[in-house]
Structure 1
């Protein structure tokens, strides 16, 4: 009897427990939202962050400089066919760029900043091919390469990679080095970008040095990419340096997105474009400001205006500018009620006016 009483008591306790949980779950849920949290303005937070004095700056510089004694070994590993992957806590941007500028002076170097929100890998590959072609021409070892070939910037990625991996040199003395800051960054984290980077790293005339910071970065690659294409040689090089440059393009967690920072980022990107590209962008911006309630500027209208102002000579030229704008997320496309493709700039009117003002200066 005592055993049955004990079992009944335990059953009653369990039943009451689940009844209580059921009552809790059916009660009114909290109406609080993340958006209700009073967050500081992003620009204000960044200004406060900029005023902070980082500790141990001297020790950090000494640590980074201490890696210079390994530069000769790193160059040797590159010449042996390995890709160098630098990992460890702290920004490694200064370290690997110093390595490239001091130890890789015999090679052409192209830097890819994976911490940016977008990277045009096609343009990077075109640049690599152009640099290699210049080396081959200088050494007069381009005899086996087909002449009168179509311009590099009109070739496909497969054609460009084939050129970079082609048997142009018997001695194999021509190389172009690719330095990738944050190969696991947001601009390169998709599968297609990693596949292209792996194929580039496997090319016979490409040397690759990269840094990684995300703990799950190895999940981006399969066995073939790690051991055959990238052929990584891992180096643990903690620097404990702050991610100053890398953090500029990321909104702080404790701040709401401010238009000032968005305008600043867009302005930085526009300054890197050609004057004609900036003027084409301003055409879209002026149209959007003049029609704030519109659905965007139709592509045909944009081409007509740009032709009249002698900003572009053909639709191909305009498309090249638009591709650059879209890659940098300066403009987006949507269809209007008439089914036309229209361009619009994803900024508020106030932010767009500030950006246009900066362009005009």
Structure 2
């Protein structure tokens, strides 16, 4: 009888609880709406975020520098045919680029910013093939044996490009191109087709991959064959605790008004992450635009001539790689000149360009 009394009491308590929830006071709904939130301008929000003083900056730099002791181990793994997959909390962009610039100086390195929405994998594969051909030419005294591949790779099928990247190049077995992919799990690379192309490229004998991941479900992008046979990942836990400044520059901010265009501040963040030569190429375009405000832009042929004279690029391929990166970041755009030729221009006002040039010159 006592047990039944307890059950009746619990039932009565539960019934009274739900009746109270249905009473008039608890049934009132809030009149506030999400659209009523007073959002700030995106430029103001980005400026505030950019001006924040990072905490533990010295400790973060020391941590990134401590990984230099294992650089030679990473090179050994690359030469053994493994791909390097870096994971851990914090941006790994500075770490990977420092590894490539200080340790892989004997090889060609191509950097792919996977955090961009506009990444074109087929263009990346063609650029890798161009770099490999240039590397082989530089090692040989004569180039007669390479006459079969003198046709531009952009006009070849993707299968022919893969055949070249995977072919045996006689005595040049030590030649390879290292492809650095920041955020291989980025929004522009997550679909199955792009990952399949990346896996096929990674499986080529003259291509090695160094990539970073940050998404918690990144491992779901690959099946067993891709992980162990094509990418052949060798994973390294390298937390840096560095902020994702560059990676998040072009992502829409939740607490900001959408639709704002490129600003000098965001452009400066991106340019400061590029090589000095890339910055100098951008300066040529920007200075030309300031000097000729009434023109549609700068002709690509004129840009190449000036860059060659200033020793900023060694070939058209190098210049095209810089321009592709500029266009991916929307730092430079193209439009038709009055004579029908394509010209390059910076989509910023003259004042913003002057401010940008001052910031990257500091």
Report if TM-score (shorter chain) is over 0.5: yes
Structure 1 residues 8, 69: closer, same or farther in 2, change over 3 A?
closer
Runs of at least 5 residues in structure 1 that lack an aligned partner in the other structure: 276-285, 287-309, 312-323, 331-353
1:70-85 equivalent positions in 2, closer than 5 A: 70-85=70-85
In structure 2, C-alpha distance between the alignment counterparts of 1:209 and 1:201, rounded to whole Å: 10
Q: Deviations over 1:127-169 (max 9, x none)?
A: 1111122233444598887827753112233332222112333
Runs of at least 5 residues in structure 2 that lack an aligned partner in the other structure: 272-280, 286-295, 301-323, 331-346, 355-362
Query: Following TM superposition, by how much is the alpha carbon of 1:57 offset from its aligned partner in structure 2, in angstroms?
Result: 1.8
1:271-290 equivalent positions in 2, closer than 5 A: none
Aligned to 2:128: 128
Query: Following TM superposition, by how much is the alpha carbon of 1:252 offset from its aligned partner in structure 2, in angstroms?
Result: 2.5
In structure 1, C-alpha distance between the alignment counterparts of 2:2 and 2:242, rounded to whole Å: 68
Aligned to 1:40: 40
Query: Following TM superposition, by how much is the alpha carbon of 1:198 offset from its aligned partner in structure 2, in angstroms?
Result: 1.3
Aligned to 1:229: 230
Say whether the 8 Å CA contact 2:264–2:353 is kept in structure 1: no
Structure 1 residues 148, 14: closer, same or farther in 2, change over 3 A?
closer
Worse-superposed segment, 215-224 or 258-267 = 258-267
**Are 1:240 and 2:241 an aligned pair?**
yes
3-state SS of the aligned residue for 1:66? helix
Worse-superposed segment, 111-120 or 47-56 = 47-56
Structure 1 residues 236, 329: closer, same or farther in 2, change over 3 A?
closer
Query: Following TM superposition, by how much is the alpha carbon of 1:225 offset from its aligned partner in structure 2, in angstroms?
Result: 1.3
Say whether the 8 Å CA contact 1:117–1:249 is kept in structure 2: no
In structure 2, C-alpha distance between the alignment counterparts of 1:56 and 1:2, rounded to whole Å: 63
Say whether the 8 Å CA contact 1:110–1:178 is kept in structure 2: yes
3-state SS of the aligned residue for 1:256? coil
Q: Deviations over 1:232-271 (max 9, x none)?
A: 11111121222221121122332222524479879989x9
3-state SS of the aligned residue for 1:84? strand
Aligned to 2:69: 69
Aligned to 1:188: 189
In structure 1, C-alpha distance between the alignment counterparts of 2:162 and 2:62, rounded to whole Å: 39
Q: Deviations over 1:158-202 (max 9, x none)?
A: 332222112333662110110011111122122221111111111
In structure 2, C-alpha distance between the alignment counterparts of 1:243 and 1:119, rounded to whole Å: 19
In structure 2, C-alpha distance between the alignment counterparts of 1:328 and 1:33, rounded to whole Å: 36
3-state SS of the aligned residue for 1:129? helix
Structure 1 residues 62, 123: closer, same or farther in 2, change over 3 A?
same
1:96-107 equivalent positions in 2, closer than 5 A: 96-107=96-107
Query: Following TM superposition, by how much is the alpha carbon of 1:3 offset from its aligned partner in structure 2, in angstroms?
Result: 5.9
Aligned to 1:207: 208
For this pair of structures, how many residues does the alignment match? 295
TM-score by length of 2: 0.67
In structure 1, C-alpha distance between the alignment counterparts of 2:21 and 2:147, rounded to whole Å: 76
3-state SS of the aligned residue for 1:179? strand
Say whether the 8 Å CA contact 2:63–2:240 is kept in structure 1: yes
In structure 1, C-alpha distance between the alignment counterparts of 2:2 and 2:63, rounded to whole Å: 72
Q: Give me the CA root mean square deviation.
A: 4.1
